[in-house]
Amino acid sequence: MKKITLVILTLLSVFTFQSRADEGMWLPLFVQRLNYVDMQKEGLHLTAEEIYSINHSSLKDAIIIFGGGCTGEIVSPNGLIFTNHHCGYSSIQSHSTVDHDYLSDGFWATRYEEELPTPGLRASFLVSIQDVTAAALAGVTNQMTEAERADKIKENSKKIESENTKGTQYEARTTPFFNGNEYYLFLYEVYKDVRLVGAPPTSIGKFGADTDNWMWPRHTGDFSVFRVYASKDNKPAEYAAGNVPMKSKQFLPVSIKEKKIGDFAMIMGYPGRTTRYATSTAIKFALEKNNPMVVKIRTKKLDILREDMAADASVRIKYAAKFAGSANYWKYYIGQSKGLKQLGVYDRKKELEDQFANWINTDKDRSAIYSEALPDISLAYETINKYEAAVRYNAEAIMQGCEIIAFSRNFNKLADVLAKPKPDQKIVQTLTKQVTEASGKYFKDYNMATDVKMLAAMLQLYYNDVPKEMQPAYLEKIHKKYKGDFAAYASEVFSKTNFSDTTKVKLFLSNPQSKSLQKDPAWILYKAFSANSSLIDSLVKPSNELLAKGNRLFMQGLREMQSDRTFYPDANFTMRLTYGQVLDYSPADAIDYNYVTTLDGVMAKEDPSNPEFVVADKLKQLYKAKDYGRYGENGKMVVGFLTNNDITGGNSGSPVLNGDGELIGLAFDGNWEAMSGNYAFEPKLQRTICVDIRYVLFVIDKYAGATNLINELDIRN
């Protein structure tokens, strides 16, 4: 979800409000220099060295990249991980069947032997952050084209990464900041054996589901539990039966103290992406192009999935994670558009750009450097807007909508080898094995009947909404041959393709032939859209390069114009720190929201006829008996709470910490009224929705009876 880097005041402070400490996603590397004094004033009791150190264990060593898009934290000496339920959802789903429905029933391991290996799941620990701007930009000149500049930086980055990982087990990433004006090297130690330990049923972990998503008041127990395993010498290792729980370098103690308004709250995690320094042109693009298209396409996709999932339990399990992933940002884009309009973000951006233009015009030297920045951005968007329907519909409707088309991509390398006059059979065997493995994973969570419907619907959407001159010619052939009946075409594709079920795929791979592949209707369809997409990308590429140049110079100029202020960089899925307070809010006239929710609210929302609001019998029994153990507060069970921390997607699962560095909750959402937050921070409205750690412990202990996990934790009163 959100926070970042290397300087303070945001560009939005020039608008209608003063920047404040709770805005910003800061690099922990610079805490001592930039944030520490303010954090102490707000209630931090740790030293900067206790937050980030490369010489000693520190908080950073307990914070992980969980999988590929979330955050997690180590909470025991034995590698135990807490993260969000929605972050662990696909892993929980991967272990679920109709007979062992861990999504509906939950899962709890009481011994190490019961913990479930989850192939492909990784835990990445940050080792260090290093400023490599000079090395990354070595040899880069103002005379270079943007493409030449990018190639040189890529070459430099590979060299930097190689030099810093040689002789180690680390992975390295050189990452741009401030739109390519600065570069930092991040070293990671990546553990590849991560196992499922515990998960509440969806009636707790996803309580409220799509209806309550992004909303407050919230009553979701959004957590799951995993564990990092290592070799016997505590090093990263691929899964092996002989691996053992990792011995943690650092883990977070857990606080069950009562929280009050104004209490210090800090979040460390991996916010995915913000564009706080985007221009008004980018806001207009989001409102008029990108967001409406994504919402329209996903609405249709979700309708199809929802119908088939409701009709068949096995389909529900297979598509649970796919549905959740699509639905999450479907609603997000709806809220973002609403927020951008209501909060006047376009006008505020325009006001800043006018100030920037006036600043440029007062100095010839500035004009020589920056005068084309904003015009270049506007010019770039003219072309990007023109082709956006083709780009967005290809991504959302075709490649992320029609599974059989996406699956066809697995055969690309094999097709190239088979097309040669004398295919190398060793290579063919290797590629065949790879495709076979990919097929097994693919068909595990696949329902052909659903994909037939999806193919027909997505092709129809694409045909109707993408300008004809930007469509693959093959689509018009289909339309004419089948007289516009894409359902009939889809049925025929699935009746003739080698890719529709595991038996056909195995038969094809037993003796793969180029001739058979080239005649396959699914392959032909994939190649048609792939070629068209490449063509569109080539037409848009010069404009994307012009946009990159304009954004880089605009960012450089902004920092020069506001030289007396410290900027924080946009989120880019690198470790960030954000700090603020536990806080309530008032989103509108006569509406005041409390900063906590309780189990009372869960019971008030119960609706047995609605799967989003089912309450488990045992939870009702515990509630009726007020059996909250040491986790209750004045006869209540707190479920969620609010802070004004600055977060965004990727921060899901991040630890919410008090001034002593103790875990008080897990961040899992932003609030509906501030969905414009990726473009503009709204201090009066922006809130982080957190599941209270006491509710997490209550569910583990009193609901699940997994006292083995409770005994691992350092719980502080």
Q: Catalytic residue numbers?
A: 86, 222, 652
CA distance 533 to 53: 45
User: Which has the closest alpha carbon to 663: 587, 715, 601?
Assistant: 715
Contact yes or no for 80/697 (Cβ under 8 A): no
Contact 81, 75 (CB under 8 A): yes
Alpha carbons 440 and 435: distance in angstroms, whole number: 9
How far is 577 from 599, CA to CA, in rounded Å?
30
Q: What is the CA radius of gyration of the chain?
A: 26
Fill in the DSSP letter of residue 29: G
With contact defined as beta carbons under 8 Å apart, do 107 and 198 qualify? yes
CA dihedral 364, 368, 369, 373 (to 10 degrees): 110
Give CA–CA dist 387/489, Å, rounded.
Answer: 27
* Bridge partners of residue 194, in order along the sequence: 228
Q: Within 13 Å, how many C-alpha atoms sit on residue 112's CB side?
A: 12
3-state SS of 333-357 is: HHHHHHHHHHCCHHHHHHHHHHHHH
Task: For residue 645, give the 3-state DSSP assignment.
Answer: coil
Q: How many Cβ atoms from other residues are within 10 Å of residue 550's Cβ?
A: 25
The three-state secondary structure class of 454 is helix
Whose CA is closest to 10, among 176, 130, 178?
178
According to DSSP, the β-strands at 663-670 and 576-581 are unpaired
Give the C-alpha separation, 251 to 248, whole Å.
Answer: 6
Count helices and strands (H / E) in the chain: 27, 22
Closest to 222 (Cα-Cα) out of 668, 664, 657 = 668
